[in-house]
Amino acid sequence: MDISELKKQSDLSYNIAIAKRNALEKTQARLVLVYNGHVFRADPQTINLVKTLGDIGISPIYILDTNSNPVEISDGKQFLQALIARNQEAISSYHQMSKTFANRND
Amino acid sequence: MTKGILLFCFDTADTQYHKILERCVALIKKNLKLEITVVTNFQTFRKINPLGFVNYKFIEPELGNKKAGKEWNNVDRHMAYELSPYDTTLVMDIDYFPFTDNLKQLLDTDYDFLVSKHAHDLSGRNSFDQRRWSMIDMVWATVFVFRKGKKAKRIFDTLKYVKNNYRYFVDMYRIFDKSFRNDYAFAIALQQANGFVEYDTVPLKISTLPPDCRVVQFTETGIAWQYQDQISYIENHDVHVLSKEVADV
């Protein structure tokens, strides 16, 4: 590989890395969910907690929002659905985008 | 409960901010679908193309502040509480382009005041790590939400006090940039009004293009920019553009 080809590949990899970082940030922004007047993240930790509490029959559930304020959620099932819907919307969009990164690197 | 967006827009000798406003309003109408009130002066208002249903409030901006040697009419943000006709208000810089509806949900919270503490550098250089430039965490007053009430009023009253004594606070908090900056004024006011303890924030990073990134394309869904010899783009994500040349793209 000559030096110009190396530079080209290096630039391309750098561009893809930045695009990936930005796509991840976009995903993080989309994971923010307002529910019951409070701000949450539709991340695996929140989803798992809400699902676990629901599975063992706790209702209403009490959890912390992103500012560590306690929140009472009367309908845990509905909250879980909202969290999962937002999580999958954000991650599937990121997944679509990551395919374009792979194509650019071919 | 009324909800809406408050924007400030004043043309200067160097920058036709009204052109940036036109772009911002179009995106708000498309993605956020909230009522808009623009705070401006008559000279700027005369140049704004018809934007559909938008409320206007006229004030004369306080002059004297500068950024990079250029006129910068950004000092009037402390009047947002009095100027907003809404119970819950989203205040946005006009160079923040909402390509999504992400912000809309923030008007449905129980918080009295929400602001972000972090920015994401879209050019990948982490150039907004402001902690090094002061002894206080900066907030990004680019976007904030407040709900009218005692607590928000207290924050804005403190903000006015900070603004009137800004030189003192700049020295006290050892802020490197001596010109008036809303980001620091809000950070100081929030810290003082909250008794020097943590306050509620939005877990969003303000995705920002540094001023040395030149916007080369602006569409309904996204933005492309050039930094050195690289061209990058992002779609369906809110972007704060610091280069005022975006007015002419």
Q: What is the pLDDT of residue B112?
A: 96
DSSP β-ladder status, B113-116 and B55-58:
unpaired
Domain assignment present for residue A2? The answer is no
Q: Please write the tens of the pLDDT for every residue from B7-25.
A: 999 999 888 999 999 999 9
Q: What is the pLDDT of residue B33?
A: 97
Single-letter amino acid code for the residue at B114: L
Distance (Å) from the alpha carbon of B125 to chain A's nearest alpha carbon: 9
* A interface residues, B as partner, C-beta within 8 Å: 11, 14-15, 17-19, 21-23, 25-26, 28-30, 32-34, 37-39, 41, 66-67, 69, 93
Q: What is the pLDDT of residue B76?
A: 87
Tell whether B200 lies on the interface with A, counting CB pairs under 8 A: yes
Per-residue pLDDT of chain A (106 residues; tens, 9 = 90+): 688 888 888 888 888 889 999 999 999 999 999 999 999 999 999 999 999 999 999 999 999 999 999 999 999 999 999 999 999 999 999 999 888 877 766 5
Least confident of A8-22, B109-123, B185-199: A8-22
- The answer to whether A38 contacts B234, with C-beta atoms less than 8 Å apart, is no
Percent of chain B at pLDDT exceeding 90: 77
For chain A, how many structural domains are there in total? Answer: 1
Q: What is the pLDDT of residue B244?
A: 82
Rounded distance between C-alpha atoms, residue A33 and residue A63, angstroms: 14
Query: Is pLDDT at B88 greater than 90 in this prediction?
Result: yes
Q: Which residue has the higher pLDDT, B197 or B106?
A: B106
Domain assignment present for residue A41? The answer is yes
- The answer to whether A39 contacts B202, with C-beta atoms less than 8 Å apart, is yes
Domain assignment present for residue A24? The answer is no
DSSP SS3 for A85: helix
- The answer to whether A39 contacts B238, with C-beta atoms less than 8 Å apart, is no
- Please list the alpha-helical segments (H only) found in A31-75: 44-55
User: Looking at residues B188-193, what average pLDDT do you find?
Assistant: 95
Q: What is the pLDDT of residue B131?
A: 59
What residues of chain B lie within 8 A of the CB of A19, using their CB? 232, 234
- 3-state secondary structure string across B53-102: CCEEEECCCCCCCEECCEECCCHHHHHHHHHCCCCEEEEECCCEECCCCC
**Domain housing A69:** 34-100
- The answer to whether B234 contacts A69, with C-beta atoms less than 8 Å apart, is no
Tell whether B102 lies on the interface with A, counting CB pairs under 8 A: yes
Domain assignment present for residue A5? The answer is no
- The answer to whether A21 contacts B124, with C-beta atoms less than 8 Å apart, is yes
What residues of chain B lie within 8 A of the CB of A22, using their CB? 120, 122, 124, 207, 232, 234, 237
What residues of chain A lie within 8 A of the CB of B121, using their CB? none
DSSP states of B111-145 as a string?
-SEEEE-EEEETTSS-TT-GGGG-SS---EEEEEE
Q: Please write the tens of the pLDDT for every residue from B118-162.
A: 999 999 988 887 556 888 888 999 999 999 999 999 999 999 999
Domain assignment present for residue A28? The answer is no
Q: Could you tell me the domains of chain B?
A: 3-211 (3.90.550.10)
Structure tokens at A49: 């907690």
DSSP states of B175-204 as a string?
-S--S--HHHHHHHHHHHHTTTS---B-S-
- The answer to whether A29 contacts B114, with C-beta atoms less than 8 Å apart, is no
What residues of chain A lie within 8 A of the CB of B108, using their CB? 34, 37
Domain assignment present for residue A9? The answer is no
Tell whether B41 lies on the interface with A, counting CB pairs under 8 A: no
Q: What is the pLDDT of residue A15?
A: 86
* CB B141 within 8 Å of CB B125: no
Q: Sheet with B118-121: list strands edge to edge.
A: B96-97, B239-241, B205-209, B118-121
User: Looking at residues B59-66, what average pLDDT do you find?
Assistant: 79
Q: Of B100, B110, B201, which is closest to A38 when you measure between CB atoms?
A: B110
Q: What is the pLDDT of residue A106?
A: 58
Domain assignment present for residue A18? The answer is no
Q: What is the pLDDT of residue B127?
A: 84
Which residues lie below 8 Å from residue B127, measured CB to CB, with a gap of 6+?
Answer: B121, B210
Per-chain mean pLDDT for chain B:
92
Please, which residues bridge with residue B235 across strands?
B222
Domain assignment present for residue A77? The answer is yes
With CA atoms as reference, the chain B residue closest to A37 would be B109
User: Looking at residues B107-111, what average pLDDT do you find?
Assistant: 95
Q: What is the pLDDT of residue A1?
A: 67
Left, alpha or beta for B196 (phi > 0: left; psi -120 to 50: alpha)?
left
Query: Is pLDDT at B69 greater than 80 in this prediction?
Result: no
